[in-house]
Structure 1
Amino acid sequence: MSTFNVKNPATGKVLAEIQESTKEEVEAIIEDVHQGFSEWKSRDAHDRAAIIKKWHDLIEENKNELAEIITKESGKPLKEALGEVNYANSYIAWYAEEAKRIYGKTIPASTPNKNIIIKKQPVGVVAGITPWNFPAAMLTRKTAPALAAGCTFVAKPAVETPLTTIKLVELAHEAGVPKNVLQYVNGSGSKIGPIFTENKLVKKITFTGSTPVGKNLIRESAKTVKHVSMELGGHAPIIVCEDADIEAAATQTLISKFRNAGQTCICANRVFVHESVVTAFADKLKEKVSQLKIGNGLEEETDIGPLINKKGFDKVKAQCENAAKLGAEILVGGHGKVDEDKETYFFEPTVLLNATQEMDIMNDETFGPLLPIQSFANIDEAISLANSLPFGLAAYYFTNDYRTGLYLSDHLDFGVIGWNDGAPSAAYAPFGGLKESGIGKEGGAEGMEPYLDTKYLSIGGLKV
């Protein structure tokens, strides 16, 4: 029986040895939740809502334990981990209510002896593949609407961070979610992904992760015409206009970029600043970044935790070196701290000035605390630079001119946009990308739709 170790990336300490799910075990769990689907979808929506709400309450009672689990297995600072638990739980609270709001409709027929009724029904068994960087939030953002809609769910967490999923599923069962409605499996995506896509009982795949993996899942899911929801790669730009509040722009950029040591899909990766204010902005951002403390996430003063592994560290280091070689100025940071024996990898929060489009960092998504600044001369140049890549997940801009703000919102090709706001995500709002950054939305009323099929009923022979 194969196993893998879950380690604390800040210390190298082994937290747990996890047994990999075999192909037979994964298929048995899919069969089990398929059997549970019939009963779960037939439950009164208010009953499902009450159970989901109980899950929310249990998470609230155990939030400190959950936050510590997240910090230990992902490395993010404890204060951020607690924020993630609260954010994750907001999705459960939201969809507990949305379970009672799955509305159909009637449509006037073209003949007087007919009635036309449109109904919504759950798609069936859902397989969800979640990333390591938000092990709680990415699970609840998928499971909560699925359960609310009447679907059953099999979760496959990242091998780096399975302990959060295990605890959350245990709490769901304690709340009254039947074991044949929500389950988890463990193992690499390369092994378990094909089991999900090939199994005809799985009716939907929901995935958060890289664009290449997402494309492969879409391709393989097409063989059995599964529903798919994909939240894929991003390379978020920030545009700082000449009239922006520099203090506010620098503060919000800091919030967007350096959360979870820059290891988020919507964090700022490219900053475009009007040439008239680029020096003032860079100086203010440098001042703020210089105050960030790196260290173990369990230590109260820590702002920046470790990178998740050597692969992540090597990419950040290579991008920094490439940018410096091509003329970028390192304003702050620029160095790593590695312990190969413990396998811990830290990188200083770093700001680069005078970035250009030839640099790797401006074209390849950075998952780390490394931020380049490039100047622009006019707003259309900034928009062109921001839109130049195939990604369209999140974008941010700072201006106090409503005309400029509305112009930017109309011309930026991104699914999530923050105007003077570096943290736009919320359970009640639809989240998802454009272009190669995804298919479908998570959050808000729109987040229920991917888990529902539409059925059309035409009733004839009525007396008139």
Structure 2
Amino acid sequence: MNTYKHYIHGQWVDSASGELMEVQNPANEEIFAMVQAGNAIDAQKALASSEKAQKVWGLLPAPERAKYLYAIIDKIKERKNQLAEILVSEQGKTYREALFEVDDTCAYILYAAQAATRIQGDIFPADQPNEQLWIQKVPYGVTVGLCAWNYPLALIGRKLGPALVTGNTMVIKPHELTPVSAAVFFEIIHEVGLPAGVANLVTGDGIELGNALVSSPITKLITVTGSVRAGQAIYKAAAPNITALSLELGGKSPFIVMDDADIDIAVQAAVNSRFANCGQVCICNEQMVVHKNILDELTSKMITETKKLRIGDPMTDVDMGPKVAESELDKMDRIIQKTVTEGAQIALGGGRLKDGPYEKGFWYEPTILTGVTPDMCASKEEIFGPVLGITAVDSFDEALAFANDSPYGLSAYLFSKDYSKLMRAINELDVGTIFFNKGISGAMQGYHNGHKLSGLGGEDGIYGIEGYLQKRTVYLKY
């Protein structure tokens, strides 16, 4: 069993408390690694290190900063299989999905590195003679990246790449369930010789360690991927220092299928968009909203296709592994049972897998609920797992009303051949991302953001890069 340390100012160090945390494999419940149980003292050390390093790092030309990112990408590729195996062990995603995550990590960092020569400011006409008016983009300084457990490696690339290329330094805190891939990532950072303090790693829970990071006056920007509850707590903790925030929080993505849609394409996209990574994707299909004219046909095909999913050892050729933790199974059971008492029916699945190869681990059947109405629990709470409710609607107006009634606004799906419906959705759906006639996807040059309780700020693309820069106006008299 490996034990991993904090990485602070270019050195591997123990927690100030001397305490360790166990890391559990969700497929078999075995403890396979130990990490440091960090506290406020560790947070302060990491922040002070990043503050010390930032001025020098920020003055380095952006293309020079990008060279370190290219070197990190090369090292990640050399250790691709190792990183994928760690992702399977700590998070439970399939090995195939883990390999994709490693590739995505490289892609996020590559996009950031390539942006080094594209950071732009502006020159505007001045009001006075012999004067110029400039607006420059400058780094915030010390940033903190708080990463969720569903994509523990890719989220580091998504946050650290843009932060570093724009001249910021960053302290990374991975989720306590999935810290090992982060530790190995920082082994790579050490190998490439990134200057001490530019990137620091601390591990521990979100209560003491996380709060110390986000409430410190040293921290100038916090980027978070996590739950609404966590985002609200961070928002409150950051308020006294007016710390800048980028929050990508929960979602409840409606998957709308109208009666003029290609049902077979919609069904395949719906299955992929619900059960990818065991349903643990923020923009997953969380609730199907189906026109009543095609409800029976679509439901039948959804059940048929979902039954084909292969569940098992995530290191083998399967479609779905376990949930990440026991608490997640309890949450799904509660949502399902309450929704059934409210009048919905279990059309497929509906329970834990416990026998044979599933005796150990956090396994759940792919589940479909029918007869779900907008007022039921499964329509309101983010499930974040392999459970899908199906709701019937009479019209497109009703579908839009259902989608917009949610306090979330991360993403939505719409299947229809009617372009007037597509345009209405663009104008009326209050979400950050809309997928038309296609399943779950994402491009590095796009933008990933939420509306309403799903967050503020965002990541990816040119707008994501700009999120790590603040503006400085210069009046130059000559």
Give me the TM-score of the superposition, normalised by structure 1: 0.96
Structure 2 match to 1:263: 280
- Partner of residue 315 from structure 1, selected from 316, 328, 331: 331
Q: Deviations over 1:172-192 (max 9, x none)?
A: 232232231011101001111
The runs of at least 4 consecutive aligned structure 1 residues that moved more than 6 Å come to: none
AA in 2 matched with 1:234 = G
TM-aligned CA deviation for residue 331 of structure 1:
2.1
- Partner of residue 228 from structure 2, selected from 179, 194, 211: 211
Structure 2 match to 1:159: 176
What secondary structure sits across from 2:88 in the alignment? helix
CA contact (8 A) 1:119 1:454 kept: yes
Structure 1 match to 2:41: 24
- Partner of residue 425 from structure 1, selected from 442, 447, 450: 442
TM-aligned CA deviation for residue 385 of structure 1:
0.4
2:3 aligned with 1:3 = no
CA distance in 2: counterparts of 1:172 and 1:251, whole angstroms = 40
What secondary structure sits across from 2:424 in the alignment? helix
Please give the residue correspondences for 1:350-361 in structure 2 after superposition, counting only pairs within 5 Å: 350-361=367-378
Residues 244/158 of structure 1: CA separation in 2 closer, same or farther (3 Å cut) = same
Please give the residue correspondences for 1:406-417 in structure 2 after superposition, counting only pairs within 5 Å: 406-417=423-434
TM-aligned CA deviation for residue 275 of structure 1:
0.6
Structure 1 match to 2:9: none
- Partner of residue 414 from structure 2, selected from 397, 413, 417: 397
Structure 2 match to 1:439: 456
Structure 2 match to 1:230: 247
CA contact (8 A) 2:166 2:469 kept: yes
AA in 1 matched with 2:404 = N
Please give the residue correspondences for 1:376-395 in structure 2 after superposition, counting only pairs within 5 Å: 376-395=393-412
CA contact (8 A) 2:283 2:440 kept: no
CA distance in 2: counterparts of 1:78 and 1:180, whole angstroms = 33
Indicate the percent of aligned positions where both proteins have the same amino acid.
Answer: 35
AA in 2 matched with 1:337 = L
Q: Deviations over 1:106-141 (max 9, x none)?
A: 100122221111111110011111111110111111
Structure 2 match to 1:454: 471
TM-aligned CA deviation for residue 343 of structure 1:
6.1
CA contact (8 A) 1:52 1:175 kept: no
CA contact (8 A) 1:74 1:308 kept: yes
* Higher mean C-alpha displacement, 324-333 vs 353-362: 324-333
CA distance in 1: counterparts of 2:229 and 2:30, whole angstroms = 31
CA distance in 2: counterparts of 1:88 and 1:253, whole angstroms = 25
Please give the residue correspondences for 1:1-150 in structure 2 after superposition, counting only pairs within 5 Å: 1-150=18-167
CA distance in 2: counterparts of 1:424 and 1:113, whole angstroms = 51
What secondary structure sits across from 1:35 in the alignment? helix
Structure 1, gaps ≥5 residues long: none
Structure 1 match to 2:11: none
Structure 2 match to 1:187: 204
Structure 1 match to 2:321: 305
CA distance in 1: counterparts of 2:196 and 2:347, whole angstroms = 53
- Partner of residue 296 from structure 2, selected from 265, 279, 282: 279
Q: Deviations over 1:38-64 (max 9, x none)?
A: 111111111111211111121122111
CA distance in 1: counterparts of 2:193 and 2:464, whole angstroms = 23
Q: Deviations over 1:319-348 (max 9, x none)?
A: 222222333232221121248x98622110
Give me the TM-score of the superposition, normalised by structure 2: 0.93
CA contact (8 A) 1:11 1:296 kept: no
TM-aligned CA deviation for residue 257 of structure 1:
0.6
What secondary structure sits across from 2:286 in the alignment? strand
What secondary structure sits across from 1:277 in the alignment? helix
AA in 1 matched with 2:350 = G
- Partner of residue 328 from structure 1, selected from 338, 344, 347: 344
CA distance in 2: counterparts of 1:357 and 1:56, whole angstroms = 45
* Higher mean C-alpha displacement, 431-440 vs 307-316: 307-316
What secondary structure sits across from 1:166 in the alignment? helix
Q: Deviations over 1:304-331 (max 9, x none)?
A: 2111112110111122222223332322
CA contact (8 A) 1:123 1:451 kept: yes
What secondary structure sits across from 1:273 in the alignment? strand
Structure 2 match to 1:173: 190
Residues 388/202 of structure 1: CA separation in 2 closer, same or farther (3 Å cut) = same
CA contact (8 A) 1:417 1:424 kept: no
CA contact (8 A) 2:38 2:205 kept: no
CA contact (8 A) 1:208 1:230 kept: yes
Q: Deviations over 1:365-399 (max 9, x none)?
A: 00210001011111010000011111000111111
CA distance in 2: counterparts of 1:338 and 1:34, whole angstroms = 49
CA contact (8 A) 1:310 1:343 kept: no
Structure 2, gaps ≥5 residues long: 1-17
TM-aligned CA deviation for residue 451 of structure 1:
1.1
CA distance in 2: counterparts of 1:142 and 1:278, whole angstroms = 41
AA in 1 matched with 2:286 = N
CA contact (8 A) 2:224 2:246 kept: yes
AA in 1 matched with 2:320 = I
Residues 25/326 of structure 1: CA separation in 2 closer, same or farther (3 Å cut) = closer
AA in 1 matched with 2:285 = A
CA contact (8 A) 1:238 1:395 kept: yes
